Amino acid sequence: MKVHYDYKQISFRNPVVTMGVFDGVHLGHRMLLQRVAEEAARRGTDAVAVTFDPHPRIVLTGDPSHLRFLTDIEERIDLMRGTGIDHLVIIPFTLELSQMTACEFVEAVLFRHLGVSHLVTGFDHHFGNRHQGNSTTVTECSTRLGFSVSREEAFMIGGEAVSSTGIRRVLERGEVKKAAVMLGYEYTVRGRVVSGKRIGRNIGFPTANISPHFRYKLIPASGVYAVEVMVDTEPQWHIAMLNIGMRPTISDSDGQRTIEAHLLDFGTDLYGRNVTVRFRERLRDEMKFGSIDALVAQLERDREMTLRLLRS
């Protein structure tokens, strides 16, 4: 898959196109992208996906500090590889772009620059100024411009349409296994190991204090999780237990949630290294214990449970 950052300097062969933010590149997105690849193969043309960076809500929201998303642009690129898409076009999202009507965008970008011959839309796709563009709007534009349009239905699991919004809600409840079913893969967080207060080391559970690379990354609900950790780009996943929360027993979090991983089979200091955390199971809520000894006893039980779950 070739990645393009300038849609004005590209030449495609009557491409089949789809567009969207694709936050999470979940199973619904994958179904849509595969349909594009299949249609392009049938026509003997290019399969093209168009996405936007930064996320439109970051640009359009007055104070985006509260926003949280499943993936940054690099994660989206990685996840879209192997879906059958030939070209990924990344369009910088700006306030000026947001003022374009749906038909103006379709004509100026998809038709004039990309040369779309067939457009595949999602079941709930809205775009353009005030999100007024939808599949009906696109069909009206396509009739005038002379390209065809098809609309894919929702990807359903248990009678529920899979969506980025739905997955975010599931993760906010800490339901990482349910999120994995909807995503088609285990949810991950990438970050850098930063200096901590080394309290875990003093009680026999040294932890890597992780600062996410993406400032808008959605972090699952507070609690203790069985996870796997990849260090830098080493092709190995290490079993770990991870705590997200305020560390109520220690009471030194300064009101900020922390993300701390204790790797069970990795003895080297991780400070300054990049890690990827893959969420496998939620073990329990974060708890306040009456003493450090009680906390250590629970951590021992957490470690046993993590090994039992992940080694199997």
Question: pLDDT-derived band of residue 303, with 50, 70 and 90 as boundaries?
Answer: very high
Q: How far is CA 170 from CA 6, 23, 104, 197, 243, in A?
A: 35, 15, 36, 31, 18
Whether the CB-CB separation of 271 and 214 falls below 8 Å is answered with: no
CA distance 275 to 272: 10
Mean pLDDT of the chain: 92
Task: Give 4's strand partners.
Answer: 89
What is d(CA 278, CA 59) in angstroms, rounded to the nearest whole number? 29
Domain spans, the chain: 2-154, 186-311
Q: What's the Cα-to-Cα distance from 293 to each of 47, 159, 219, 283, 299, rounded to whole Å? A: 59, 46, 28, 20, 10
What's the pLDDT at 56? 93
How far apart CA 16 and CA 299 sit, in angstroms, is: 53
Highest-pLDDT range among 21-35, 186-200, 245-259, 263-277: 21-35
Q: What is the pLDDT of residue 4?
A: 96
Fold adopted by 186-311: Elongation Factor Tu (Ef-tu); domain 3 (2.40.30)
* 236-292 pLDDT, tens digit each: 999 999 999 987 766 655 678 999 999 998 877 899 999 999 999 999 999 989 899
| Residue 43: burial class (beta carbons within 10 Å; 0-12, 13-18, 19+) | middle
Q: Is the pLDDT of residue 204 over 90?
A: no
pLDDT attached to residue 254: 65
pLDDT value at 164 more than 90: yes
Taking only the tens place, the pLDDT of each residue in 112-151 is 999 999 999 988 766 655 566 666 778 888 899 999 999 9
Share of the chain above pLDDT 90, in %: 76
Residue at token pair 């300064």: 254
Find the mean pLDDT for residues 149-156.
93
Q: Find out whether 78 and 47 touch, Cβ atoms under 8 Å.
A: no
Cβ atoms within 10 Å of 17's Cβ, excluding its own: 29
pLDDT exceeds cutoff 80 at 311: yes
Whole-angstrom distance, CA of residue 87 vs CA of residue 12 = 9
Q: What is the pTM of this model?
A: 0.92
In which region does residue 295 sit, left (phi positive, over 0), alpha (psi from -120 to 50) or beta (all else)? alpha
Residue 29, pLDDT above cutoff 70: yes
Q: 61 Cβ partners below 8 Å, 6+ apart?
A: 67
Give pLDDT, residue 139: 83
Give the CATH H-level superfamily of domain 2-154.
HUPs (3.40.50.620)
Alpha-carbon gap, residue 270 to 303, rounded angstroms: 19
pLDDT at residue number 131: 60
pLDDT of residue 102: 86
Q: What's the farthest any 2 CA atoms get from each other in the chain?
A: 73
pLDDT at residue number 68: 97
For residue 277, which amino acid is it?
V
Return the exposure string of 267-288: e unless at least 16 CB atoms fall within 10 Å of the residue's CB, then b.
eeebeeeebbbbbbbbbeebee
**Which one, of 188, 131, 174, lies nearest residue 281 by Cα?**
174
pLDDT at 78 over 80: yes
Q: Distance between CA 134 and CA 28 in Å, rounded? A: 17
Q: Is 220 a residue whose pLDDT tops 80?
A: yes
Mean pLDDT calculated for residue range 40-62: 95
What does the DSSP 8-state code read for residue 64? G
